[in-house]
Every structure is written in structure tokens, then in C-alpha cells.
Amino acid sequence: MARPWLRTSIIAVVMSVAFVCVLDALTNERNPEWDGLHYLEIARNGIRFDRQYASPFPYRSAAPMIAHGIRAMTGWSAEIILRVMVRAAIVAMLLMTLALCRSIGASWRSSAFIAAFIGLHYAHAKFALYFWSLVDVYGYAVMFAATWALMSRRYRIALFLGAAGVLFKEFLVAPAFIAACALVWQAYRERTWRPMAWAAAGIFLLVCCVALPRLAIPIGEHYEVFDPLWGGGWRQQVSEILANTARNANIVYSLLGYGLPAMLLATRARTRSVVKSEIAAWPCAGLVVVVLLLMLFGGTNLCLYPPYLAALLVACLAVMARGGDIGWVEGVIVLAVIAGFNRVWQTIPTDYSNYLAFYGGYNNLPTATWRWVVCVCALLAGTLRQGCRTADAGSAMHSPIPSPRTTGRWRP
């Protein structure tokens, strides 16, 4: 007879795979273009030092190089390997979402709803399946693990995951930086050298992972939005970014769209439980600030950036569910809103203008208007629900986010 934790784990894997298969059936694919074409080339041929690349794409070569290694061992095409890797990364993200929710104390029903909320967001699954040669989906998974370690006060794990994770995406510098600050503060508070030594080792690894590719890989073109070395004066670049109204409006829209589940589920007791939890501690707040700065000065796929805060959103939703379980009717309504907002059943356009209108908040006025209306209505709904009462979580509100080491196996 299978152990309960093993049976539950198998069910979770089967449900996650089935979820991805359904979304896969509803999603068309795009031939690699722009960023994706550069990553596909690395997956096919690896990093070569006798030719020039376009930055910053070879600096994010971890996933394409893994695909290249698998290709060298198996002889499979890079396209097939990347398609399989994308689906595996989405499944891993869903499983980590379930695990984090359960470790915090959410019921299985609430955990399943939260995993569905995350999976239905455009960037996590549908866009990754559509634009399968991009690397953000792998960055989400590593960022989730690093943020979980940070929330669990396992700063060394968060530091080294973030330091090595910058080879997947630059956003991983955020947990590495915050974890290093936490270790330095711990060393000062406890008057011991060990945390400082770990912080120094992690920072050294981070510097190596950031600097060595930039020093070793030949670069012929630069596509960074903010690049003080090659793009002119940094003051001029900062002023241009801050003055770009359409871009900044789309950042706000992307954040609101990603936070739809929290806004729709928010009640007074649930909001209070989040405020009193470890999610409100300074490491998590610092992580949000660093990620927002990276969003502001990052690239152009703005809708892909809020999911780097996925672990924090999942933790907030799980603490909310611990303070008041997500009922069937409530969960289905939120699922319907999220599915409609992200249009999971629709074919993503391949022409550039309609493609931008599909996921953006400003390119097409009619589309942008109704999507902004959904965001504002969800925000108002969450504000009005602050007067609603749900079951009080009592002392559970004050408990920290458990770490994987202390939670043990999953419990059904």
C-alpha cells in the first residue's frame, strides 16, 4: 500500500501534468523570433567565442546550454528539447506552488485553487507554451525556490540560488542581494563571522556569474533598455525611462493583472493575516523593491516580469486561505475572472500589433480599456470586501513561513 505522502505527491504530479496538457491544447505556437531566436541558436550550437552575439541574450544562457548539453548526449533537435523543458518547468512551478501552500497551512482545496490561479496567468503557462524558446519560465522556477528560501530565513540557500540563477535571468540578483544583506545583518547582530563568510562567498559567486560572461563572450549588438556602458549617459537613459508614460502605465497594468487573485480574495481577516505574517518582514519587502526596480529598467516584455514575485503572491494567497478557506463558489468565480482576463482559450495573434494588444495594456485602446476596467473593478472589489468577515486564523497569523526542512512530507 502506498504511503499517504507518496499517493498525494503522485496525484499532484498527475493533476499538474493534466493542467499543462489542457493549456497546451488551447495554445498555438510561435516560430522563434527576436529574443527566442538567440536562445534557440545557443541551444543548437552552444556558446562559441569565434563569433559575436547580441546582448543580453548570451548572459542568460543556462537553460539554452542545458538544452545544448542534452542535445549533444541524445542527438535530439534543440526545438524538441526546449519544448519538453518548457513543459517540465511549468509543471515544476505548479508543484512548488502546491508545496508552498501546504507548508503554510492552506487546505488541499485552497492549495489547488491557488495553483490554478498561478497556472492560468498568461505569463506562467500560456505564453511560455506559445513562445517556447524564451527563458523566463525557467527563471520563474529558480526565483520561486530562492524566494521560498528567503521567506524561510534560509539565507544561504537563497543567496546561492540567486547568485547562480542570474545565468537564467537577471531578476535572480534580487534574492541574492537581499539574502546577502540578511546574512550581513545576522553577523552584526550575533557578533559572529560565519554569516559574513557565507555572504562573501555568495557575493563572489554572484560577481563571477555576472562579470565573467560579460567579459568573455564577444558582443556585437546591444538591446538592453538601460545600459550605461553602451547606451550613452545613464542620466539621460533614466530620464527617458521615467518619462515613458505608455511603458510605465503598462508596468502598473501588468502588476494589477498579476495581483488579480489577491484583490478578489481579500477580506478584512485575510488582509490582516497577511500583514501579521512573515511576508510583511523586511526581506520580502526588500525583494519587492528590487524586483520593481528591475522591472522599471529592464526589457520590453513587461507582462513577463511580475511572475518573478510568484512565491510572494502564492504565500499571500496561502496565508489568506489559512485565515479563511477558499470556498468552491468563491474559487470558481475567481478562476473564471482570471481565465477570462488572460483569455486562456484564445489563439494568440502572431502579427506584431495584435500580439502586443493581446498581452499589453496600452497598444490597442478598446482592448486596453476593458482590461484596465477588470483590474480596477478587482481592486474595488477587494477594497469593498474589507468589510466582510471570514474565519479568523487566530494565532496562526503570527507563525512564520515554514521552511522545506521543517515541514516534512506533504500531508493529504
What phi and psi values does residue 199 have, to the nearest 5 degrees?
Answer: -65, -40
Looking at per-residue pLDDT, the higher value among 3 and 338 belongs to 338
Predicted pLDDT of residue 392: 41
Looking at per-residue pLDDT, the higher value among 49 and 199 belongs to 199
Q: For the residues 29-36, what does the mean pLDDT come to?
A: 85
Give, in order, the Cα–Cα distances in Å from 245 to each of 240, 241, 361, 362, 404.
10, 9, 12, 10, 42
Helical H segments across 191-281, by residue range: 194-216, 234-242, 245-258, 260-265, 268-275
For 392, the grid coordinates are 479568523
- Of 16-20, 89-93, 146-150, 387-391, where does mean pLDDT reach its minimum? 387-391
Predicted pLDDT of residue 395: 37
Helical H segments across 276-327, by residue range: 282-296, 310-323
User: How confident is residue 399, by pLDDT bands cut at 50, 70 and 90?
Assistant: very low
User: How confident is residue 232, by pLDDT bands cut at 50, 70 and 90?
Assistant: low
Looking at per-residue pLDDT, the higher value among 408 and 56 belongs to 56
- What lies within 8 Å, CB to CB, of 392 at 6+ separation is 269, 323
For 75, the grid coordinates are 542527438
Per-residue model confidence as pLDDT tens digits over 170-224: 999 999 999 999 999 999 998 888 999 999 999 999 999 999 998 888 888 877 7
In the predicted model, is pLDDT for residue 278 greater than 80?
no
What phi and psi values does residue 297 have, to the nearest 5 degrees?
Answer: -110, 15
Domain map (residue ranges) of the chain: 29-400
Cβ–Cβ under 8 Å, residues 55 and 45: no
In the predicted model, is pLDDT for residue 146 greater than 70?
yes
User: How confident is residue 40, by pLDDT bands cut at 50, 70 and 90?
Assistant: very high
In the predicted model, is pLDDT for residue 264 greater than 90?
no
Cβ–Cβ under 8 Å, residues 399 and 332: no
End-to-end CA, the chain: 15
Residue 20 burial by Cβ neighbours in a 10 Å radius (0-12, 13-18, 19+): buried
DSSP 129-148: HHTTT-SHHHHHHHHHHHHH
Measured from the Cβ of residue 377, the count of other Cβ atoms closer than 10 Å reads 14
Percent residues over pLDDT 70 in the chain: 85
Percent residues over pLDDT 90 in the chain: 47
Nearest CA to 321 out of 152, 106, 24 is that of 106
Predicted pLDDT of residue 386: 61
Predicted pLDDT of residue 311: 95
Per-residue model confidence as pLDDT tens digits over 337-396: 899 888 888 888 887 777 777 776 655 555 666 666 777 777 676 666 665 554 444 334
Q: CA 255, 260, 261 angle in degrees (round to 5)? A: 130
**Torsion sign, CA atoms 274, 279, 284, 286:** positive
- What lies within 8 Å, CB to CB, of 367 at 6+ separation is 357, 358
Predicted pLDDT of residue 390: 47
